[in-house]
Structure formats: C-alpha cells, structure tokens
Amino acid sequence: MNFLRSILYGLWRVLDGLRRFLHLLVLLVVFGFIVGALRGSMPSVPAKVALLVAPEGQLVEQSTGDPFERAFQEARGQGHAETLLWDLTDAIRGAAKDKRVQVLALDLEKFEGAGQPTLEELARAIREFRASGKKVVAYGNEMTQERYYVAAQADEIYLDPMGFVLIDGYARYRMFFKEALDKLGVDINVFRVGAYKSAVESYTRTDMSPEDRQESSTYLNALWSSYQEAVTRARKLPPDAIGKYVSTLPKTVPAAGGNAAQVALQAGLVTGIKSHLDVEKRLIGLVGEDETSGSFKSISAADYARVARADMKIHAAGKPKVGVIVASGEILDGEQPPGTVGGESTARLIREARMDKNIRAVVLRVDSPGGSVMASEVIYREIVALRAAGKPVVVSMSDLAASGGYYISAPADEIWASPATLTGSIGIFAIIPTIDKTLGKVGVTVDGVGTTPLAGQLRIDRPLGEESRTLLQSQIGRGYEEFLSRVSTGRKKTREEIDAIAQGRVWAGTDAKRLGLVDQLGSFDDAVKSAARRAKLTEYDVEFVEPELTWAQQLVLQFKAKAVRALVSIGADGKTMALAHVAQRFDPLTREVERLSRLSEPNKVYAYCFCGPE
C-alpha cells in the first residue's frame, strides 16, 4: 500500500511539475505576444535608399474612423482612406538629416487631395528636404490640381505618356433642397443672425443668395491666386503661366491630337514624359536596385516616420515641451472620437496640458467648420483657464477655422493662418424642421391640449408657434452678441468693429490678416516657434496631446487587426467581408440628410460654416 502511494505521489508530482511548466510556457508565449503586439520591430534603413512618399486617400491632420476598419482595408489590399499629414512631415524632415536617405520619391497616384493649407504643410517639408541638397523626384499618371501642388515642389516631375495635368481652379456648388422639401410638406424653420450666414440656405432657397455669391467669389479668387503663386514660384514659371495653361486647355489639347502630356511638358509644368518603368530606372540609377522587388531601394514614409520619431524622442529627453492639441472636424457636444471635436473630450485635453508641468506653451491646431455653440463655449473656457495659468496659447489655423472653429480660436494669445485658410463666419443659427404638412398629405392630423402656451409647440409634428419663434430668435440674438463679445475681447477690438466684419461672412487668410481676425500668416511650424518664444524657450520638444489608450485597449486593437488579416488570408466569403467592411463613403444627398439631422435639435444653436470649395 505504501509502495502504491509512493508511485501515485511521484506521478502526481511529475504531472504537477508538467502542469507548472506548461503554465509558465503559456504565460511566456502570451507575454511575448503582448510585447510584440505593443512594440513592433524597428524598420531597417539601407545604406543608400530613397524615401518613398505615396499618400493614399485624403491627407488629414487627425486620423478618423475605427482602427479595425483601417486594418481591414489594409488587409484586403484596398489601401487607406486617409494619410496622416504628420507621418509624412516627420518622415521627410527626419530623412533630410539622414545620410542614408539620398532621394525623396513622390508617388501621387493614390492621393485624393486636401485643402491648400494642408498641402502647403507637406510642400514646406519637401522644400526643406531639397534645401538639404538632396533630390526630389515626383511621378504620376493623372496629375490633378491637388496632386500637382505637391509635385510642383520636386526637382524632377515625370508624367506618364498617357497622363495629364488637370488644373481647373476653385468652385463652390451646393445642392438646394427647398423644392423637394416643399413637395414633401416639410417646413424648415430657420433662426439666424448674420447677412452672410449662408449655412441654412440649402434648405430655404433654390439657388445661391447674392450675399453668398459675393463672399464665395471673393474667397475662391483668393484661393486661386494663392495656388497660382505657390505653383509658379515652385516651378520658376511666369506669374500668369497657370492661368494661361488652364484657359487654353480646351484648345491646346485638341491641337496636340489629344496628347495632354505633351501640352503639360510644353507649358513647363513637368520635367519629362516617362512611364512608371522609366521612372523606376531613373531612381535605380540614383539609389540602386532592390534585388527582392526589382525596383529602386526604398523605405516607406510610414516606416521611416517610426525611425525619425525614435530619434526625436532620444534628443527630446528632459526638454520642456510645447504641447499641440488638434481640433479637427465638426464641433459636437460631449465625448467624441478623433476626427471630430468633442466639447468634453477636447476640453479635457486642454486641461491635461494645463496640469502638465512639462508643457510650457500650447498650440491649438484648428481645422473645423464649427458646430455646437455650447461645445465651443466649453472649449473656449478651458483655453481661457489655460492662459490664466500662465501658459501661452497660439492658434494655428489649417484649411478651415470658421464659425465655431473661430469661436474656440478667439481667446488665444496669437492666431496664425495660411493665406488660403477660410475663417471668420462669425454668426449662429438654429434649424427646426416640422412635418405637420407631410403627415397631412397622408391623412394624419395632430390635436391636443397643453397647460401653458409653450406646451407642445416644439413638436416636430405641429407647426412652430409664434411664442416659440420669438423665444428662439431671442436666444439666437443673444448667442450672436456672446460670439461678438468673445471675439472682441480676444482680438482687443470693439463690438462694433467685429460686427462690421462678422455677419457670418467667410474670409480667406490674407483678408482675415488685413481685418485683424488673425495676427500672422505662416505655417504650423511658425506657430510652434511663436509659442516657444512666448514661453521663453530656447530648447524644447513638440508633443501632441492626445487621448492615450491603455495597454489593454492597444492589445485589443492589435488582436482585432490580426484577426482581420487572418480572416482575409483564409479567403472568407464576400458576405463575411461585407459585414466587416463597414466604412462606406456617403453620397452627397445622404451627407446632407445626416448633417440636417445633427443640426435639428430644438434646444441647440450652432456656429457652423458650409463654406469652402466643393
């Protein structure tokens, strides 16, 4: 019996030891997976290489959408819907100082564009790369207006023999829904202040108002002038070269037998006409051939950005910081994801910068058409508190900083904008649709009683009562006066001076500078340097203040991404893919309906600008 017990005890110890070993092994595997998922390997950089900048989709200042959706698109080989501006600029500026990177190759075939100020940020980084004495080569088949703005910064621009350079200027055309709404029996009740506040006109008119036509023509011409000046300066062309090229295209291309590439070459817009294979040979001659791919030796901007940022972190250790907070997208109440500006979420980032002792100054990068007045006010108050804490605040305006976007900019110590920034639009409105007539068309009526004259007046299925109209218009009037007060205080001007240039009117950056709505014209880097000067910093690091994911959240995202790639690799059926692929582009009509639904809450007022080239 004792002998049997000894055998059983020994067997149990062996099994228990094996269990412990396997448990430890599993833990090590899991730990290794976590470390690998959260860190990733640092890309290697060959001794002689080209930095390949190939933006896909829209160039944005803040990534939008679910990382899971982006992983799905990448795994399916569908590319990216957007490229982050700062990934490209960090990579290009880092490569300019790296002896291993000898050429910058610009592949613009999948680039869909951006606003002119955003394009200029990328162009500025490319010019700095050229200034380091290194060559920039751009190539493509279809050089659209936005693509060409970037390509123009290169030493060499090559166009495919079947390609073209299509520059057509700026325009603003909108859909007008009044007749459709009338046919449906929908009444759009509008309350606004500002003769130029055209944001509501899509729902109340069948065409562009004279005021909207006037202001749109003014700022579109300013954008067009800025575009021509930037491109002709980069290409060393006569000032009127782009205007002549565009105006004569309907004649010159037919005269050349449809050979648009030859017309672009004769106009001096491109260096030469080469196929993609010919350009590859040119780049192989500059940096050598990659034996694996047969193309030129290259490293992508996304990979090199990791290298550049690792180097920046080493050199930034112990230095005081200029914090950067990006306010990109519509301004909405409460907590909002990246790509929109949440009243609470953005205010919290500003508060974090205020409490961080290492951050000595803040740059607020604004790219927003505005939105909720209440959310804008929440952000405004945090900026005022940040300044009161003794930290300088400098606003850097991107493509659009209008209405609510200007509201949150007003309290800054200093405002910088691009000449092509669209800003101002100081005015507010409210929209309340009612559908009692729509219901009447199908025989539905509404009747009842209330305890006060206001009871039931804000129902969507009843006509808006006069008492409610009077009440709402008074709120809009007060909101406009508050807006004027915020701006006049921040700009150190009288209420009357601001009112004269407000009224909902949109201004290009050059005019906004003349009118005192902005202080300086320049780039994002200019704004950062100004913030550092105000904080009396000679050495500093630039840090983007963003919501931080916990390690668990990062791990979940990594698991999701890996699961998507695995799903694609085993060839899941189309229906499964359709369920996973939820990021869809909305057609213009759907976007307008969604926008109207966001702007139709009866207890909300909005500072929003439906402006910009479309």
Q: Tell me which residues are annotated as active site.
A: 197, 403
Residue reference for tokens 């080239």: 613
| Phi, then psi, of 113 in degrees rounded to 5 | 120, -175
Contacts of 246 (CB under 8 A, 6+ apart): 167, 168, 169
Please, is 489 exposed, middle or buried when counting C-beta atoms within 10 Å of its C-beta (0-12, 13-18, 19+)? middle
How far apart, in whole angstroms, are the C-alpha atoms of residue 346 and residue 348? 5
3-state DSSP assignment of residue 232: helix
Dihedral of CA 363/368/369/372: which sign?
Answer: negative
Pairwise CA distance, residues 137 & 289, whole Å: 16
Asked if 274 contacts 158 with a C-beta cutoff of 8 angstroms, the reply is: yes
CB 166 within 8 A of CB 144: yes
Cα dihedral 65, 69, 71, 73 sign: negative
Sheet holding 156-166, edge to edge: 272-273, 156-166, 135-144, 101-107, 49-53, 298-300
Collapsing DSSP states into helix, strand and coil, what is residue 608? strand
Is the distance from CB of 524 to CB of 121 less than 8 angstroms? yes
* Token reading at 333: 């109440």
Could you give the 3-state DSSP secondary structure of residue 387?
helix
SS3 335: coil
Three-state SS sequence of 36-103 = HHHHCCCCCCCCCEEEEECCCEEEECCCCCCHHHHHHHHHCCCCCCEEEHHHHHHHHHHHHCCCCEEE
